[in-house]
């Protein structure tokens, strides 16, 4: 059986040879020269439950309609497949699953045999994907959280009609060399386990949801087209500088013009050429939520490419949102637009009932409303890149993001080898390529809680961090550690120290009295050793909503509140010096694998999985709004009613600030709040 499994694993690995990135990954948008067709909805679905999980390849399921290969079921896309049915074997399934959809596309896309280009794009599928169109292999991708695409123009233009069959095989198996890593363990004792029984071991504490998690679209461009845009911004006084580079594919002969428009559609700056700088006088800068009465301000960069060939003329237009801001790190501060920024936010997960990690617009909007209600100005994409649609709203609302790759649970020694390292470098390239132009993204995180005390970790993270800086020199780089300050091999290479700790929970359980002394010692040791600013990147306690006890005991709402308040006392002292942020673990309860320490998932959320607040949510809300108001104690903060919305309070706070600033002047603040 082990030999047979090795053959299947070889199929996964040999298909997933990493390659250097080719081209850009602009988010699909409708423009005067581009069209888009969403393929979300109901797809045909079949799990390959054969012993070696290879029947689909042996019998070439992609060669004919999936329904002809055996029983199929309906499956929504985007969504995780695990919780959609009542089939327990599908919930915990490990191996290949197959998706299929018949698509009818506009005939005009193929009527012009030379001028249009048709692309199939998958927002993400976990973990390894192989894609066929009409039975022909078009692309494959390793990694469960980033987009990939294929040019399918020739296949569609050679078809007899305006239709095609799209087949996607997805495998969620994790090995020591995947990101995140895992391992397959076979149980060979036939007196205890059935034939071929195995388990997927993982090194992280969230459910390994699988399937096509983000939108699938077809879109068109001209055959000569804008392939990529890179924007780097700077600030000189009240002048915003927008440095841009446009890459065009399909021809070496073209012209490029760019127009920067403000939110009213007025021209702020114009330029010619594929490389240049725009200067914006009296610019509106991109500010984080609660640092400005107009957070998240974005311009629109209209990029137009034109070219004439012997047979045709081509025009392509792409509109890119642009926020003008700067990011810098000192020994004790994190600066946005030259102003000290303090992260008061959350860690999250893409996780919800039924749909798992599938993109869900109602949930996304609900979460952002809760973030604003809470007064959170930031979050970390723990522990993988989040959907582009979520990131768009971070840009829009001014929510600051620590953008984390899927490097969670890198703990096995074999996960620090060259094969893992090379894949990790490609993943960071893909992440930077996708999110490089986002003003909300202020720092890259290359891992979460790796075994960074291992000697192997030093070279590994030195290489990953240096490579990330090479592909994006404009942002700081970090990873999140739970190692000791004196043996973390990768800490010398990061720009910001991000530390996870759970004092009075995973050790000294139930002893709230040790939190402040242990946290103070930890902060002082880290700073004295590395002289870098520190973010408390995780802290918290599991809480079952409705459990109460006084004096507090573990798992009650009172205990979670006391944990937070003890941490906050130390934060308030050390943020006067070198602590630059605090991110609660977690925003909401989420699903995990089954275990005796997890009662239907991880319960460290300040909200339930259904987004109802626990008592601790109000503790954080009071704290975060106090910080936004610039006060130093709760007694100086106006009482918040249960019905007062976050945006309304922000307006009140801004009004008070303006009145204070202008108290000695006889002029009225120039804003609509007062």
Tokens of 32: 């005067």
Which residues have CB under 8 Å from 570's CB, separation 6+?
Answer: 515, 516, 519, 520, 523
Q: What is the rounded CA–CA span in Å between residue 490 and residue 461?
A: 6
Residue showing tokens 């408390």? 536
Please give the pLDDT value at position 113: 59
Q: What is the rounded CA–CA span in Å between residue 423 and residue 21?
A: 12
Please give the pLDDT value at position 114: 64
Catalytic residue annotation: 449
Q: What is the rounded CA–CA span in Å between residue 310 and residue 318?
A: 24
Summarised one tens digit per residue, pLDDT across range 270-313 is 999 999 999 999 999 999 999 999 999 999 999 999 998 777 78
**Beta carbons of 156 and 384 less than 8 angstroms apart:** no
Please give the pLDDT value at position 639: 44
Question: What is the 3-state secondary structure of 155-183?
Answer: HHHCCCCCEEEEEEEEECCCCCCCCCCEE
Identify each DSSP E strand in 78-162 by its residue range. 96-104, 116-122, 125-126, 128-133, 136-142, 148-151
**Beta carbons of 422 and 382 less than 8 angstroms apart:** no
Please give the pLDDT value at position 308: 82
Question: Global pTM?
Answer: 0.91
Q: What is the rounded CA–CA span in Å between residue 511 and residue 555?
A: 13
Residue showing tokens 């500010």? 287
- Residues (pLDDT < 70) of the chain are 1-20, 113-114, 631-674
Helix axes of 615-628 and 646-661: crossing angle, nearest 10 degrees? 30
Q: What DSSP state is assigned to residue 367?
A: H
Nearest to residue 499, comparing CAs of 469, 475, 530? 530
Please give the pLDDT value at position 158: 82
Which residues have CB under 8 Å from 270's CB, separation 6+?
Answer: 257, 258, 259, 260, 278
Quick check: helix, strand or coil at residue 51?
coil
Which residues have CB under 8 Å from 615's CB, separation 6+?
Answer: 557, 558, 560, 561
Burial 584-605 (b: 16+ CB within 10 A, else e): bbbbbbbbbbeeeeeeebbbbb
What does the radius of gyration of the chain's CA atoms come to, in whole angstroms? 26
Torsion of CA 498, 502, 507, 511, to 10 degrees: 140
Helix axes of 388-397 and 361-374: crossing angle, nearest 10 degrees? 30
Please give the pLDDT value at position 22: 80
Helix or strand (DSSP H, E) at 401: strand 400-404
Q: What is the rounded CA–CA span in Å between residue 520 and residue 574?
A: 8
Phi, psi of 529 (to 5 degrees): -80, -40
Please give the pLDDT value at position 5: 36
Summarised one tens digit per residue, pLDDT across range 556-590 is 999 999 999 999 999 999 999 999 999 999 999 99
């Amino acid at each position: 059986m082990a030999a047979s499994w090795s053959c299947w694993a070889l199929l996964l690995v040999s298909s997933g040879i990493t390659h250097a990135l080719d081209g850009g990954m602009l988010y699909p948008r409708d423009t005067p020269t581009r069209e888009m067709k969403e393929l979300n909805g109901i797809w045909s679905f079949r799990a390959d439950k054969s012993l070696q999980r290879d029947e689909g390849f042996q019998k070439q399921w992609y060669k004919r309609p999936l329904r002809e290969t055996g029983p199929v079921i309906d499956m929504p896309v985007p969504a995780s497949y695990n919780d959609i049915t009542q089939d327990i074997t599908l919930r915990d399934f490990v191996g290949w699953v197959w998706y299929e959809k018949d698509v009818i596309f506009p005939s005009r896309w193929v009527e012009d045999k030379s001028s249009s280009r048709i692309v199939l794009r998958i927002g993400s599928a976990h973990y390894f994907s192989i894609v066929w169109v009409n039975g022909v292999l078009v692309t494959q991708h390793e990694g469960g959280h980033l987009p990939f695409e294929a040019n399918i123009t020739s296949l569609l233009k050679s078809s007899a009609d305006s239709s095609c069959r799209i087949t996607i095989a997805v495998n969620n198996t994790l090995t020591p060399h995947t990101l995140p890593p895992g391992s397959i363990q076979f149980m060979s004792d036939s007196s205890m386990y059935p034939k071929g029984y195995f388990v997927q071991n993982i090194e992280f504490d969230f459910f390994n949801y699988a399937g096509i998690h983000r939108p699938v679209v077809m879109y068109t461009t001209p055959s000569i087209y804008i392939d990529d845009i890179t924007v780097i911004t700077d600030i000189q006084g009240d002048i915003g500088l927008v440095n841009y580079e446009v890459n065009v594919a399909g021809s070496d002969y073209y012209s490029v013009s760019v127009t920067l428009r403000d939110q009213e559609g007025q021209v702020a700056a114009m330029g010619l050429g594929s490389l240049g700088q725009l200067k914006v006088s009296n610019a509106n800068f991109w500010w984080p939520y609660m640092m400005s009465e107009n957070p998240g301000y974005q311009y629109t960069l209209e990029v137009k490419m034109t070219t004439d060939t012997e047979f045709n003329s081509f025009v392509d237009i792409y509109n890119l949102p642009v926020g003008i801001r700067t990011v810098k790190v000192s020994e004790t501060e994190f600066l946005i637009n030259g102003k000290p920024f303090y992260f008061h936010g959350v860690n999250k997960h893409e996780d919800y009932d039924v749909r798992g990690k599938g993109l869900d617009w109602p949930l996304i909007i609900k979460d952002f409303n809760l973030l604003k209600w809470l007064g959170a100005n930031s979050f970390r994409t723990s522990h993988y890149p989040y959907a582009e649609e979520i990131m768009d709203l971070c840009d829009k609302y001014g929510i600051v993001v620590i953008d984390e790759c899927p490097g969670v649970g890198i703990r096995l020694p074999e996960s620090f080898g060259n094969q893992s390292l090379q894949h990790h470098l490609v993943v960071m390239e893909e992440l930077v390529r996708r999110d490089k132009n986002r003003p909300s993204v202020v720092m890259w995180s290359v891992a979460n809680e790796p075994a960074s005390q291992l000697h192997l970790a030093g070279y590994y993270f030195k290489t990953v961090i240096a490579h990330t800086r090479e592909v994006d020199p404009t942002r700081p780089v970090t990873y999140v550690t739970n190692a000791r300050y004196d043996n973390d091999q990768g800490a010398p290479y990061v720009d910001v120290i991000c530390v996870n700790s759970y004092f009075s929970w995973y050790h000294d359980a139930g002893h709230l009295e040790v939190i402040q002394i242990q946290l103070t010692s930890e902060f002082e040791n880290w700073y004295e050793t590395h002289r870098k600013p520190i973010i408390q990147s995780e802290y918290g306690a599991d809480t079952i909503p409705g459990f109460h006890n006084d004096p507090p005991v573990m798992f009650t709402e009172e205990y979670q509140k006391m944990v937070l308040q003890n941490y906050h006392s130390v934060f308030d002292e050390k943020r006067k010096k070198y602590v630059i942020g605090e991110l609660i673990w977690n925003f909401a309860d989420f699903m995990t694998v089954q275990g005796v320490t997890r009662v239907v998932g991880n319960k460290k959320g300040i909200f339930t999985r259904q987004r109802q607040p626990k008592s601790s949510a109000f503790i954080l809300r009071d704290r975060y709004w106090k910080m936004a108001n610039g006060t130093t104690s709760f007694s100086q903060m106006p009482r918040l009613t249960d019905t007062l919305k976050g945006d309304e309070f922000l307006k009140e706070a801004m009004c008070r600030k303006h009145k204070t600033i202008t108290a000695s002047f006889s002029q009225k603040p120039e804003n609509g709040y007062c």
